[in-house]
Amino acid sequence: MDPPADEMWPESFPPGMVGVMKTRVLVLGAGFGGLELATSLSEGLGDEVEVTVIDKNDSFVFGFSKLDVMFGRRAAEAVRLPYCDLAKPGVRLLRETIVAIDPEARSVTTDAGIHEADFLVVALGADYDMDATPGLAEGGNEFYSVAGAERLAGLLPEFSAGRVVIGVCGAPFKCPPAPSEAALLLHDYLSARGVRGDCEISFVLPLPSPVPPSPETSAALLAAFSERDIAFLPGIQIGSLDPARNVALLDGGGEIPYDLFLGVPKHRAPDVVVASGMTTAGYVPVDSETLETRFPGVYAVGDVATVGVPKAGVFAEGAARVVAASLIARVRGGERPGAYDGLGSCYVEFGSGRVGRVDVDFLSGPKPTGAFHEPSAALVAEKEHFGSSRRARWFGR
Ligand SMILES: Cc1cc2nc3c(=O)[nH]c(=O)nc-3n(C[C@H](O)[C@H](O)[C@H](O)COP(=O)(O)OP(=O)(O)OC[C@H]3O[C@@H](n4cnc5c(N)ncnc54)[C@H](O)[C@@H]3O)c2cc1C
């Protein structure tokens, strides 16, 4: 039976496209969202469409791998998944840097030329704004990029005594549990080296609790901090660092001394997205059900978009699946897919090889909720599968 007319897309193809040319989908960014989108489109449409994915890098790295690199558990080279391994029917991946986006014309300029599309999906993630926290670049270390994590892998073995401050410099930031994980893993790391007793660890966060939508997860993390003598300082906004005096200066007045500052920089949409005129209040607003922007045929998924969910890969992936289903329906003239559900599960490293999980639901109720699952051996295996299943799905290995 044909779907009712109001559940059909008003136009399946842009005028003049039927039977003449393949529909062209341009995916900006081959991160969590872009990779899932390209994979889903290839599965659904094969080479019926022409999917071009553009990324400036040569490889993908899972966010959680940065903690592995920082604490010397894995080498940076070992966690890179090269894009040359991505081989999907109908998909080509170009290594180019995007320098301009015209959402009205659905065209994109890169350092190599101009690309035009029938449908454009912006999946360019969030960038780090080191300059927004004066002194951070000179006096601190960030662990949110592969380069930063690699630098710390070289520095941490030299650190044997003193005050470590893990400081989140602004919200929203990627993967809200990650700084808590960093504090707990740092405790393990220093303990294994026999120097924990000579070090103080403080964790400074602008939010009121480690994982605000999940009081249970927050309580479990606070208990873990307390057992390990990690000082948790919530609701504090770090304004700048003074590297000459080794202090973090707080917006509300006061300062926190440090010998080693491990920072999460403020985030912002990439400059090229801001310059395109697509952003409001820093990020790209989208329809929370369809992920479409105010520009027809232009979608945004993942960290670059404002959809009321946290900045995490699992949400970028869920959003990408909805956009892929929409595009498949638009190309084939099928039913509109269901709305984006805003559901996602995040694994939380508690240290000592233990992993918990929080299942968050951001959109279905009046306020976000997060069900906590206690750390267990089964969740260690589940987290491992989370990574390996995506690696196999996207990269075939
Ligand atoms: C320490 C840490 C731990 C994390 N742990 C988890 C976790 O356990 N689970 C989880 O779900 N998430 C986790 N995350 C968050 C997760 O990594 C991000 O939220 C996710 O990658 C966002 O996906 P995205 O597709 O929006 O953007 P990204 O994955 O960041 O991809 C954006 C892509 O756009 C490209 N790009 C940007 N600008 C340009 C340009 N001008 N030209 C060309 N290409 C460009 C980039 O190279 C990049 O490949 C973690 C993050 C960190 C930092």
Q: Per-residue pLDDT tens for 102-114?
A: 999 999 999 999 9
CB atoms within 10 A of CB 318: 22
Residue ID of nearest Cα to ligand 1 atom 35: 29
Q: Sketch the domain layout of the chain as residue ranges.
A: 5-126+269-332, 128-267+343-395
Residue 1: which residues within 8 A CB-CB, separation 6 or more?
Answer: none
**199 Cα–ligand 1 center, Å:** 32
Q: Tokens 């059900």 identify what position?
A: 289
Taking the whole predicted model, whether its pTM rises above 0.85 is answered as yes
Give the number of the atom of ligand 1 that is nearest the alpha carbon of residue 344: 11
For residue 220 and ligand 1, the question of a CB distance below 6 A is answered with: no
Q: Ligand 1 in contact with 316 (CB < 6 A)? A: yes
Neighbours of 304 (CB within 10 A): 28
Q: Is 182 in the pocket of ligand 1 (CB under 6 A)?
A: no
Say if residues 294 and 306 touch (Cβ distance below 8 Å).
no
d(CA 280, CA 290) in angstroms, rounded, equals 18
The yes-or-no verdict on residue 9 having pLDDT over 60 is no
**Measured between alpha carbons, how far is 322 from 173 in angstroms, rounded to an integer?**
23
pLDDT for 12 equals 46
Which residue shows structure tokens 């601190």?
A: 140
> Matching CATH topology for 5-126+269-332 and 128-267+343-395?
yes
Q: Which of 3.40.50.10540, 3.90.650.10, 3.50.50.60, 3.40.50.720 would CATH assign to domain 5-126+269-332?
A: 3.50.50.60
Residue 283 confidence (pLDDT) above 80:
yes
Count of all residues that appear for the chain in the document? 397
Asked whether the predicted pLDDT for residue 322 surpasses 70, the reply is yes
Distance between CA atoms of residues 164 and 162, nearest Å: 7
Q: How much is the pLDDT for 177?
A: 97
Q: What pLDDT sits at residue 8?
A: 52
Q: Is the CB of 283 under 6 A from ligand 1?
A: no
Q: Which of 80, 174, 307, 360 to mutate to test the pocket of ligand 1 (most atoms within 8 A of CB)?
A: 174
Q: Does domain 128-267+343-395 have CATH number 1.20.1630.10?
A: no
